[in-house]
Amino acid sequence: MKTALFIPCYIDQFYPQVGIATLQLLERLGCEPHFPEAQTCCGQPMANTGCEQEAQESYQHFVKVFQHYDYVVTPSGSCAYHVRKHYDVLEQTEAVQHLRRNTLDLAEFLLQVLKIKSLDARFPARVGLHQSCHGLRGLRLGSGSERNIKEYSALRTLLNMVDGIEIAELQRPDECCGFGGTFAIQEPDISVKMGKDRIADHQRAAVEVITAGDMSCLMHLEGILRRQQSPIQVKHIAEILNSQV
């Protein structure tokens, strides 16, 4: 199985430890992921701003770089969703269709492809799980409270494999954090208020760490936490799954 690792721009620039944790985790599970150095952005930021035509050069470059891999794995539900759902504007060549099927969020890859049942991981802390909108409602990594189906969460399933962890119960476990990419820029007041509400839920649950599958959501929440001088930390789920504290 030929697997590539795609690291989103903001992780590469601001949270490289998340990319490293993802790589180490995959290697510990027996994968040998390639990291194509020619990779750049998937094009999501431009598309979110309404410039999808201009973003198509990034789309085409992504296809060129990753088309020969069986799977592309990324620690970002939003990037995985963007490739899968928004690359429909490209000519649907075999390469494009292949990537749209096989670009997966880390949690999807671990549970659906590797089919892991256990992890050699330890993280003794009280953790609050934030389920990002793209992962929850786009990739269907969780049931979502608005759907009348049996409750499930791919991220929670993985966290339950970690020794020593205590997962806090939140009052609103699937509420948006308010980041929304460029929404946070265009509507900062609403975005911050939503972020504060999200943090308040975690604070009521007395969490020590907030985790998620999208570092973009955590970046938004971390900014608010810092301004509040809160001791709560944020960690991408890959960091927890790779932890052996």
Per residue in 31-52, pLDDT tens?
999 999 999 999 999 998 899 9
Distance CA 159, CA 237 (A): 8
Q: Which two tokens stand for residue 234?
A: 């944020």
Q: How confident is the model at residue 143 (pLDDT cuts 50, 70, 90)?
A: very high
Residues 154 and 227 in one domain: yes
Residue type, 167: I
> Where in the sequence is the domain holding 135, given as residue range(s)?
126-241
pLDDT of residue 64 exceeding 90, the answer is yes
Q: Does residue 121 lie in a domain region? A: no
Mean pLDDT of the chain: 96
Distance CA 136, CA 170 (A): 16
Distance CA 241, CA 21 (A): 8
Boundary (domain end) residue, out of 113, 143, 172: 113
Q: Does residue 120 lie in a domain region? A: no
pLDDT of residue 65 exceeding 90, the answer is yes
Distance CA 221, CA 215 (A): 10
Boundary (domain end) residue, out of 113, 141, 173: 113
Boundary (domain end) residue, out of 92, 113, 134: 113
Distance CA 124, CA 245 (A): 8
> Model-level pTM?
0.96
pLDDT of residue 241 exceeding 90, the answer is yes
Distance CA 41, CA 142 (A): 26
What is the predicted pLDDT for the residue at 208?
Answer: 98
Distance CA 86, CA 92 (A): 12
Residues 71 and 145 in one domain: no
Residues 181 and 218 in one domain: yes
pLDDT of residue 196 exceeding 90, the answer is yes
pLDDT of residue 182 exceeding 90, the answer is no
**Number of domains the chain is built from:** 2
| Strand blocks (E) in 40-182 | 71-74, 103-105, 126-129, 166-167
- Helix, strand or coil, per DSSP, at residue 74: strand
pLDDT digits (tens, 9 = 90+) for 69-122: 999 999 999 999 999 999 999 999 999 999 999 999 999 999 999 999 999 999
What is the predicted pLDDT for the residue at 48?
Answer: 86
Residues 100 and 32 in one domain: yes
Helix (H) and strand (E) counts for the chain?
13, 7
Rounded (to 5) percent helix, strand, coil in the chain: 50, 15, 40
Q: Does residue 118 lie in a domain region? A: no
Q: Does residue 234 lie in a domain region? A: yes
Residues 142 and 104 in one domain: no
Q: Which two tokens stand for residue 41?
A: 């952005």
Residues 143 and 50 in one domain: no
What is the predicted pLDDT for the residue at 220?
Answer: 97
What is the predicted pLDDT for the residue at 185?
Answer: 87
Torsion of CA 137, 134, 86, 108, to 10 degrees: -90
Residues 104 and 71 in one domain: yes
